[in-house]
Chain A
């Protein structure tokens, strides 16, 4: 049964340079308990898309299309009603644990906040639940940590606190927005494992947003690749790595530095830039950077087709040929 069904979701921002279309006609659906990874380079719209599903956008943004969560339509719902859903229905782990905690309030107060506000717990119950939550995310010395301020904790610890806050009201749906980008490589794995375990224990549906294909590989059931605000490829994780169709996905994978590359050689990059999001140009948005692009790519935008069941892509000349 699908918990979240996104159809034709678009987000645009009104800016001085005109309308900036950050997310363009994204459609996807998520089954309960499923984990979906969203990858793409900076500015591809992945963060905006995840926030748009939640409805957590700045005032300058307009959201069109439809987001169905648990049978309710969220687009057009007033913030007041969405708020009832935030925290308890869906919640988010933020990218930078350095800025996502209030520097002048104790960890305890911040973890307890939603317990008290949203679940109506009293001070004592909230405190002991907060301690449990901290133990759940494997923070040693949870009791002492509750009394500390964010600056006294390392990045990894703070990110665990963020996770503890995000799961504190037992959400059905968890958005993890680059949860490990700001962390050391060694800590990344620990944090991802914690998220994974919690997701399975609490049976949460998750959208994991990242620019690192390596991160999503081991932690998701399906992967969506975003480029220039569009979903360009969507497939089950193993299928995607075994049989990728989009030249862009391939380019992303190639740009991960490898151990066997000789020292001193240049890092592989995707040449060129993403198209200007305020403009609407004909053709495939990746055409200017794509090694396989032809005149057809530059003239006409490819449709989002389902090659094999469950594997969608947006390309005229998919790798390995069309099926």
Chain B
């Protein structure tokens, strides 16, 4: 399929974000926790020292974003991979075995999907990582709970896709053929269904990464994200009070989040389109 400009832009952007997330900690950047009191609220693109400016506390915005990329990407990837794995396993086996298990999974997915993402993760985080002045939770625990709750959000999204796609494949002749040779059910699920269902899951998984990034940001704004500006969402959330005086401390992280979500969405769509073309050829 022809690679469009959008494809290359998205690819480049995601490559940059991935590079920053992985190697950012070794780049010669301003310490992201160290305020520069001489340059408070500097506008972006006005100096090499702080390329994307500083916020109201003199914190370098770019360094913060590099640090945030690591946490945000960690949360997004781990929860999508985990949720995708669990969701696909449940969805594909449900589609293959049908019957009561399938009916149960179908209802379970619908029930979880009917709860809005934010409400679900908000309540999970509030219960599992409750924190007040007397009992502060560690950042690690917060991140773990965030990942867990976002995983639970992802499971039914990808599980449903996996189930629907697997239903198309489960009654194909080659499944019966393999069965007629005495292959065990779980092996059929793994060797025959999974490889055929995987492309569709991967396409939607890209979109799910976007969903998770947005959810993480929203949770941060609501006050239950990763504290202390360690992720993109919390960086943005912490700067909201400064929006009148130092708008760059809000719009720069917001643009980063938006660009990344658009890029993964584009990728997901591209993947799905090329898949549709493949399907139409078969």
Contact = CB atoms under 8 A, between A and B. Distances in A.
Contacts of A96: 173
Which among B173, B181, B184, B196 has the highest number of chain A CB atoms within 10 Å?
B181
Contact of A86 (B98, B179, B187, B191): B179
Contact of B174 (A85, A87, A101): A101
Nearest to A175: B180
A56 B180 CA distance: 7
Interface in A158-217: 162, 165-166, 168-169
Interface string B162-177: 0000000000111011
Contacts of A91: 180-181
Contacts of A114: 181-183
A94 interface: yes
B181 A59 contact: no
Contacts of A84: 182
A118 interface: yes
B181 A118 contact: yes
| Range, interface on chain A | 20 to 34
A117 B195 contact: no
A92 B177 contact: yes
Contacts of B99: 59
A238 B149 CA distance: 72
Interface string B97-124: 0110000000000000000000000000
A92 B174 CA distance: 12
Contacts of B1: none
Nearest to A98: B173
A94 B177 contact: yes
Given A96-B173, A102-B196, A113 B180 contact: no
A96 B182 CA distance: 20
Given A94-B173, A99-B173, A162-B177, A104 B183 contact: no
Interface string B192-209: 100110000000000000
A182 B172 CA distance: 16
A11 to B, nearest CB: 16
A165 B191 CA distance: 16
B182 A56 contact: no
Contacts of A85: 182
Contact of B181 (A103, A104, A105, A165): A165
Interface in A93-125: 94-96, 99-105, 113-114, 117-118
B196 A117 contact: no
A88 interface: yes
A105 B182 contact: no
A87 B195 contact: no
A94 B176 contact: yes
Nearest to B193: A102
B126 interface: no
Nearest to A97: B173
Interface string B210-227: 000000000000000000
B178 interface: yes
Contact of A117 (B177, B180, B182): B182
A83 B177 contact: no
A232 interface: no
Contact of B192 (A92, A102, A117, A169): A102
A113 to B, nearest CB: 7
B183 A100 contact: no
Contacts of B174: 99-103
11 contacts: A59-B99, A85-B182, A87-B182, A94-B173, A94-B180, A96-B173, A102-B192, A114-B183, A117-B182, A118-B181, A151-B282
Interface of A: 54, 56, 59, 83-88, 91-92, 94-96, 99-105, 113-114, 117-118, 151, 162, 165-166, 168-169
Given A92-B180, A101-B174, A113-B181, 6 more contacts: A87-B182, A94-B176, A99-B174, A100-B177, A102-B192, A117-B181
Interface of B: 98-99, 172-174, 176-184, 187, 191-192, 195-196, 282
